Amino acid sequence: MLLPFDPNTRRADTAMGTSLGAIADGLARELSPWRGTGLPIPAGKAKLTRVGGRCPVHGIPLDFDPSSPYAHRCGRCATDYTNREHHDWWVMGAQLFSAERAVHAAALFLLRGDESHRDLAARTLREFAERYDSWPNRDNVLGPTRPFFSTYLESIWLINICHALTLLEAAGELGLSGVVRDRLIAPSSALIDSYYEGRSNRQVWNEVAVLSALSVLDKAPQALQRAESDRGLLGIMREGLLDDGTWFEGENYHQFAHRGLWYGVQFMRTHGRELPPALHARYTAGFVTPFAALLPDETLPSRRDSQYAVSIRQWRWAEWCELGYAESGDRRLAAMLSRLYDGRAPQGDTGRARSTADAERNTPAVALSRADCSWRALLMASAQPVPGESWQPQSLVQPRQGLAIIRRDSSRVYVALEGGVSGGGHGHPDRLSLTLQTGAQRWLDDPGTGSYVERTLHWYRSTIAHHAPLVNGASQSTGNAELLAFEDRGGAGWISKNAEIAPGVRATRSVVVCDGYLVDLLEWHADEAVTLTLPVATGTVEDALNWSPATIHSAGALEDGFEFLDQTEELADPPQVVTVTAAPSGSYASGAPHSAGGRYAMCATYTAGTGARWWRAVAPGAPG
């Protein structure tokens, strides 16, 4: 198998009436409707389009229903959309859903012996194998693939297929081995292996898929040699995991990459290999680090290409804590599970019954229990429920990741200054951006990122969409930021960072945080006269002042963000001080999230020799 567990011991651990048994019971109930009809395996190929899978009115993802290939509902307006583009997007979810359900069925058969689960898993794997050549390797976005539009999606799919097959074989079912290996696993892994994505989070999945396939194809020695090479699994971990255990591309891709690494670590362990101690320390720290940066409302920072206001009260986060605790026994993970299982979130649908393997959608916060986890926890979580613990994230600094956070008032107050390593292709030009939140009130926050295929992606990737300085109307040039100082003594603390925000222009931002207030100081030095702009995207600027329509010029590039501003005004006779009436979360406009009509953006622009210019505009709010 590809996971290091003893089936005989696990059968006892997952007996009815145990906490792990509740996971098995839930998975069996969710498989029940599919045992007679078979899982959905689309005839066509998944395709990525600008409109597919999103409500054209509200811009949010349409609901995924594996049993509804041609009608796709918007959860906000309850409209069903039937365009072909929406079906082509549904195909992606259906493929991943069915591959994951094959693992559920195979695991349940191994542990409980229900032949209907065996039949469902075997039928699904056989159909995948027989259809693999029929899906064309064309109309792709990121690398070659047959069922999907990007290689990493086929990697996730293939990993699930490899696990399903090996679990069936562990239960003594060998009839499928030849056809699935020869017609699916061998050609799919060869296709994946032909596309190398360097340091990307996607390469984690590509690499683990190839390692899993080599193992299934009886090439374990070759797989181990590959895993321990500089371009293999260990090389990816050494380069991708920073010293503090965070993934270099930021929060959104940390969990995604780390879940892929989890499969790889289990593969190594199955074959008698452990990570080197220093690398293992970084890997285990990676289970905890996202929670160290948690915002006061139990959501994750929307840094880099992260989605906006992602709640940790989702079953996949609980499962991650379960797997991390089984790996390390870290009491902080036990404390997070105590929080996630405390019942304070509203009751509701967890979404596990519609999960699409590891290509997950974010869902609203919901009450959780251990029974809501999936096959990974069923097979690999601690046999005993995790003991209750208590832990509250404190002020912290992660210099390379770019996080520097000072907390106050029992962590209700959150102040952060942005800037570390660039974050690769998913990094944003937001060095020296300031974040401020008190409880659920978001005074200064990052808007996150919307769809990768919508034009407004260029807004979310602009400097002016963040609370960060820009020069001569252009988004910041790519680069790192340097941490100059960080200290928190409780009653007072400070953060200071420096960065080259444009060629020949260096800026230093220092934030001093005391009880009840903070002081924010921005200083800069330029080789020549420049115009520096500092946006503050919150609230409204005092309307009693003399505002008049104005044209605000940028450097002209799309990702400078100015093109997305609307109703731009400036002060004809600017005073020395401008009052901003702050507005917390809830100031976002209703309606389409990607149209102009979000928050007011107030900007102070300083030009050498002419002084200050104050202006405001309406800008897109947070996506979704």
The amino acid that residue 480 corresponds to is N
Whether 587 has a pLDDT exceeding 50, the answer reads no
Map residue 511 onto helix, strand or coil: strand
Look at residue 612 in the predicted model and tell me its pLDDT. 82
First-to-last C-alpha distance (Å) of the chain: 41
Whether 541 has a pLDDT exceeding 80, the answer reads no
Distance (Å, rounded) from C-alpha 618 to C-alpha 599? 6
- Mean pLDDT across the chain: 90
Whether 576 has a pLDDT exceeding 80, the answer reads no
Burial of residue 439 (CB within 10 Å: 0-12, 13-18, 19+) is middle
Give the confidence band of 336 by pLDDT, cuts at 50, 70, 90: very high
For the four alpha carbons of 82, 88, 94 and 96, in that order, the dihedral sign comes to negative
The neighbouring-strand residues paired with 571 are 547
Distance (Å, rounded) from C-alpha 428 to C-alpha 421? 11
Alpha carbon distances (Å) from 72 to 15, 86, 95, 348, 367: 38, 7, 16, 21, 26
User: Buried (b) or exposed (e) across 239-258, using 16+ Cβ within 10 A?
Assistant: ebbbebbbbbbbbbbbbbbb
The percentage of the chain sitting over the pLDDT mark of 90, rounded to a whole number, equals: 72
Look at residue 592 in the predicted model and tell me its pLDDT. 32
CB 512 within 8 A of CB 492: yes
Give the confidence band of 608 by pLDDT, cuts at 50, 70, 90: confident
Average pLDDT for residues 379-391, to the nearest whole number?
94
Look at residue 585 in the predicted model and tell me its pLDDT. 43
All domains in the chain, ordered by first residue: 7-294 (1.50.10.100), 295-393 (no CATH), 396-618 (2.70.98.70)
Distance (Å, rounded) from C-alpha 343 to C-alpha 7? 32
Map residue 413 onto helix, strand or coil: strand
Task: Extract the tokens encoding 233.
Answer: 């699994």
Pairing mode, strands 566-571 and 580-581: unpaired
Give the confidence band of 616 by pLDDT, cuts at 50, 70, 90: confident
CB 468 within 8 A of CB 418: yes
Give the confidence band of 540 by pLDDT, cuts at 50, 70, 90: low
Residue 494 CB-half CA count within 13 A: 11
User: pTM here?
Assistant: 0.91
Whether 74 has a pLDDT exceeding 70, the answer reads yes
Whether 594 has a pLDDT exceeding 60, the answer reads no
Average pLDDT for residues 164-178, to the nearest whole number?
92
Residue 296 CB-half CA count within 13 A: 24
Map residue 434 onto helix, strand or coil: strand
Burial of residue 417 (CB within 10 Å: 0-12, 13-18, 19+) is buried
